[in-house]
Amino acid sequence: MFKKIRLENGLRIITVPSKGTQTVTVLVLVGTGSKYEKKEENGISHFLEHMYFKGTKKRPSSLEVAEALDKVGGIYNAFTSQEYTGYFAKVSKEHFNLALDWVSDIFLNSTLPEKEIEKERGVIIEEINMRKDHPMEHVQVLWQKVLYGDQPAGWDIAGTVETVSRISRKDLIKYRDTHYVASNTIVCLAGNFNERLGVEKVKKYFSKIRIGKSREKPKVIEKQNKPEILFEKRDTDQTHICLGVRGFNLFDERRYVQEILGLILGGMMSSRLFEKIRTKLGIAYYIETEAFSDPDTGYLVTRAGLSNEKLEEGISEILKEYKKIKRDGVSKYELKKAKDYIKGKINILLESSDAKASFFAFQEILEKKISTPKEIFAKIDKVSRNDILKLAREIFKPEKLNLALIGPKGVKQEILKL
């Protein structure tokens, strides 16, 4: 399904050809994000990503950068996470050369003009303010904070108003030159394209990429011996919560057990918590459980927007389901449904070129290896009911619980009793 090539300079090229689509995606990933930042530069990965749309030598203005792909109906964007930053373009197959030229141009030749930095600083500050104005989003920032506190894993990817206000052009260039190097970069081509010619073109376009060693990521400190609650008071019509526990990272085989457990609890419309909290009790519009893993952290969390008057009832019912699955485990039917759900979602997802690029490139940037869907399905199939029960009993303990919430009333003591 894919090929991986490592050039002498360390650049990795992944090709995922598919003749069954009319599109092609070019995705470039660099292995840096907010977990690699120092406190005074928090938000710099995200700031740099924004600046890559502000002009290159070939396309000097943000308008020229945008119009290049708008003229052919291309889909393009960039994103920053804790672990990586990505730039991509998805186009009709006949515009493959344009997409590769465009992505390589912004990645290698962005000029970072001073006047645009000052304008974009204001844009990013408004983005931070916008997300803070949305409790459903902001509670997820609090969730990271309650888990990891004042260390990179606990900081907002976008940074703070204070840190973003201080980042200079010199800071951006230094950060770029440190991390945006060949050995820390992946170029992924997915969709309908000539594989041999595609690789040759990548070699040509990325021949001038910087060579060097990127900065090491600081070790995440995990520490908890009692339940933790982080409350932010807001005059909201709902109380938004994240309630969950620490889990397992990408290199722990239990991540697959964790994923299935999360699905059964609240990852589907027919999951236990959706049925209980929304369908039967009617005390929340959204309720979902996510199992998350990256190279050095992992967690299982249930997110919900609860009626203010029903907050304690909602938390109590979520905890009851945690206790129930810890006590009784899951049925054969639930386990099979969750496994088939994962397989079905992956198969549906991989029909598009951009999803193919993400599926293979994300694995390589995070794990330094790639598993095919067939190999992943084999690991999922190995998960047993006893594995689920054992993991639930390990993670669902009072001293391991964490809660972040935004709402109009503080009920810390009542919740700690629950």
List pLDDT tens digits, range 316-349. Answer: 999 999 999 999 999 999 999 999 999 999 999 9
Instruction: Write the CB contacts of 293 (distance below 8 Å, at least 6 apart in sequence).
Output: 247, 248, 249, 250, 252, 255, 258, 259
Quick check: helix, strand or coil at residue 89? Answer: strand
- Start-to-end C-alpha separation, the chain: 49
CA 102 and chain centroid, separation: 24
Query: What value does the mean pLDDT take over residues 278-298?
Result: 97
List pLDDT tens digits, range 10-43. Answer: 999 999 999 999 999 999 999 999 999 999 999 9
Going through 81-221 in order, the beta strands assigned E by DSSP cover 85-92, 185-191
List pLDDT tens digits, range 176-217. Answer: 999 999 999 999 999 999 999 999 999 999 999 999 999 899
Catalytic residue among 8, 40, 41, 49: 49
Strand arrangement, sheet containing 185-191: 3-6, 12-17, 185-191, 23-30, 85-92, 75-80
Cα gap 247→1, rounded to integer Å: 31
CB 247 within 8 A of CB 302: no
- The pLDDT score that the predictor gives to residue 6 is 96
CB 249 within 8 A of CB 293: yes
Residue spans of alpha helices (H) in 71-134: 96-109, 114-132
Residue spans of alpha helices (H) in 246-350: 255-266, 272-273, 311-328, 332-349
CB 144 within 8 A of CB 155: yes
Which sequence spans correspond to the domains of the chain? 3-205, 228-417
- Tokens 């990127």 identify what position? 214
Pull the structure tokens for residue 414. Answer: 């009542």
> Does the pLDDT of residue 289 top 90, yes or no?
yes
Return the CATH architecture of domain 228-417. 2-Layer Sandwich (3.30)
Cα gap 410→242, rounded to integer Å: 15
* Percent of residues, the chain, with pLDDT higher than 90: 96
Backbone angles phi, psi at 293, to 5 degrees: -140, 135
- The pLDDT score that the predictor gives to residue 319 is 97
Cα gap 87→92, rounded to integer Å: 17
Half-sphere exposure of 66 (CA within 13 A, CB side): 7
Confidence of residue 412 (pLDDT cuts 50, 70, 90): confident
Please tell me the pTM assigned to this model.
0.95
- Tokens 């029909």 identify what position? 351
Nearest to 291 by CA among 259, 253, 337: 259
Nearest to 353 by CA among 126, 96, 58: 96
Confidence of residue 1 (pLDDT cuts 50, 70, 90): confident
Cα gap 19→25, rounded to integer Å: 13
Confidence of residue 269 (pLDDT cuts 50, 70, 90): very high
> Does the pLDDT of residue 66 top 90, yes or no?
yes
- The pLDDT score that the predictor gives to residue 415 is 85
- The pLDDT score that the predictor gives to residue 413 is 81
- The pLDDT score that the predictor gives to residue 409 is 84
- The pLDDT score that the predictor gives to residue 220 is 96
DSSP 72: T
CB 227 within 8 A of CB 402: yes
* 3-205 maps to CATH 3.30.830.10: yes
Q: Is 40 among the residues known to form the active site?
A: no
Confidence of residue 411 (pLDDT cuts 50, 70, 90): confident
